[in-house]
Structure 1
Amino acid sequence: MTASKRALDLGLSLLLAAVLAPLLLVLIALLWATEGRPIFYIAERMKTPQQPFALVKLRTMRPSPPGTEAGVTGGDKSARMSRLHRLLRASRADEIPQLWNVIRGDMSLVGPRPPLRLYVEAFPETYARVLRSRPGVTGLASLRFHAHEERLLAACRSPEETDAVYRRRCVPRKATLDLIYASRRSLCFDLALIGETARRPLQGLFRRGRRGETDHETTP
């Protein structure tokens, strides 16, 4: 990561953290009152093919028994999401705590979404290239492939089907977009992607309200 990209990440993250702090406190209170604890979801993601870190999100799914969580979230887990959970996912407000990961240096504001260890180990050559870029809160693949991935995984009805679809149809497409981003990376490109991300929450809420689909992200 270049010094200028790190400076952009740190400066903008600190600003966003200050601006969004009141909203985050309201969301924490709502989750506490309606869903109970835990409020946050902390899970392992990969910063490099060898280096994990603890990603932080607001919890957007009712907990399952210990040891039963694996893989990405598809339609098989939709029953564990409340209306509030779905709104948080559709607006991406559940990702506000990831600003802490950016401030710590685990993530960038823009880059490939941080993958689970099991997929990094299953596709070592792919992620050796993808994770040359610092994982990001948003990115080219998130913006261009998110809606399609969401539809693909929402149609899955078992963990096995979700995993198979993700491996076969999502990992290669996302990696291609992540590598395109890496080849064109610049501060101007990052700012353009951040600006596009800022416009997406209302679009996501509108789409979610019409379809009632589940998000593709890993279980929070």
Structure 2
Amino acid sequence: MIALLSLALTPLGQGYLPQWCDTLLPSIALGMSGPAALLTVIHIRGLRERRSEGLRPETLMADRSEPLTEAESPAPLRLGRRALDVIVSVSLLWMSILILVAATAGIRMTSSGPVLVRRPRVGAGGRLFHLYDFRTQDSTGNRTRVGTLLQETGLEALPRLWNLLRGDVTLLGPPAEHPAVAEAYPEKYRWVFACRPGIVGPLWNEPFGLEADLPAGSDAWRHYLDIVVPHRVTANRDFYDGLSGLSTGRLMARMLFSSNSFTTYFTTDHQGTAASDAKSFDTGPNPPHGHRLAHPHQLCLTVWQ
């Protein structure tokens, strides 16, 4: 609707604006149809991970006997994947410039405080960085009307494109966790912090999340670490190390536009990975891969909350 409105209003400025504006505004208006279509597909297909707001990482009382330390050599990112990240981030930031301006103005006019919030997250190799989101709450902690609109449409995460351009995150990777949550991760799942976190990541093909009903008196954080984390840390290290720019693009396109958003990857690593501990989908006898059998694992991609 915003893109169509921009296109409708553009001719009204002809003759009153400089020539460069007459050329620039239609291109921006047309470009906004890209993010609008993308957000619509994500919303209709239910690709966003739904997380409960009742769990605050800052209140997590975990056993910090083995604190998360920064790795000396984080997993490298292939040149093709980095090039794809830059192309996507620059393109979407340019096409979304009017949305960014409108959201900034709405936040400024309806509440006091900064436009963006900086969320501490664990990056590749345990390096800390700040993930940027639009502010959706006022000084009292209540969600504003603009904030509600931004969250319902997914636009509150649009500033994360700047993190993508900077290289803090990549398009496809494990979830970016809060440092307090990362320190509470079981040891066998901590390998994910060597990889660069993603905007999109894999989950098992079953509804699963923090909104699941918990038994009375159960510890929500214990449930998250023991039950949810193995489902979020789905693919193993080989899956991320084997991704190229082309394969990432194919997986993203399949997630958005294929009638079946699930994909199957093969792994020969059976120790110390989430794939070996979580649910696997064997489809019968598998051809040998080296000296071991390659086991298929089916997963779907989701936009991390």
What interval of TM-score do these two structures reach, taking the shorter chain for normalisation?
A: 0.5 to 0.7
Amino acid of the structure 2 residue aligned with 1:149: G
Larger relative helix fraction: 1
Name the counterpart of 1:28.
Answer: 104
Match of 1:151 among 193, 211, 227: 211
Give, as a single letter, the amino acid of the residue that structure 1 aligns with 2:190. Answer: A
Q: Residues 6, 97 of structure 1: CA spacing in aligned structure 2 closer, same or farther, 3 A cutoff?
A: same
Match of 1:97 in 2: 159
Residue identity over aligned pairs, in percent, reads 24
| 3-state SS of 2:136 partner | coil
Structure that is richer in strand per residue? 2
- Give the alignment's TM-score, normalised by structure 1: 0.67
**Letter of the 1:4 counterpart:** G
Provide TM-score, normalisation by structure 2: 0.51
Q: Could you say which structure has the larger radius of gyration?
A: 2
Deviation at 1:20, TM superposition (A): 0.9
Q: Which string of whole-angstrom CA distances, capped at 9 and with x for unpartnered residues, describes residues 162-190 of structure 1?
A: 43432233212101247585276343442
1:168 to 226, 246, 253: 226
Q: Which deviates more from structure 2 when the two are superposed, residues 176-185 or residues 107-116? A: 176-185
Where 1:99 maps in the other structure, the secondary structure is helix
Equivalents in 2 of 1:152, 1:138: separation in Å?
A: 21
Q: Where in structure 2 are the equivalents of 1:199-210 lying within 5 Å?
A: none
Whole-Å separation in 2 of the counterparts to 1:140 and 1:124: 19
Q: Render the CA deviation track for 1:112-158: whole Å, top value 9, x for unaligned.
A: 221111122112534532133211112223x967x6325338x89xx
TM-fit CA distance, 1:197: 6.5
Instruction: Say how many residue pairs are matched.
Output: 183
Cα distance, 1:55 vs structure 2: 1.1
**Structure 1: 5+ residue stretches without partners:** 65-78, 200-215
Number of the residue aligned with 2:82: 6
Matched to 1:42, the amino acid is R
Gaps of 5+ in 2: 1-76, 258-303
CA deviation profile, 1:35-83 (whole Å, cap 9, x unmatched): 332221102100135310111111223456xxxxxxxxxxxxxx83344
Say which structure, 1 or 2, has more relative contact order (CA 8 Å, 6+ apart).
Answer: 1
What is the RMSD of the two structures over their aligned residues, measured on CA atoms?
3.4
Compared with structure 1, are the counterparts of its residues 30 and 127 closer, same or farther at alpha carbon in structure 2 (3 Å cutoff)?
farther
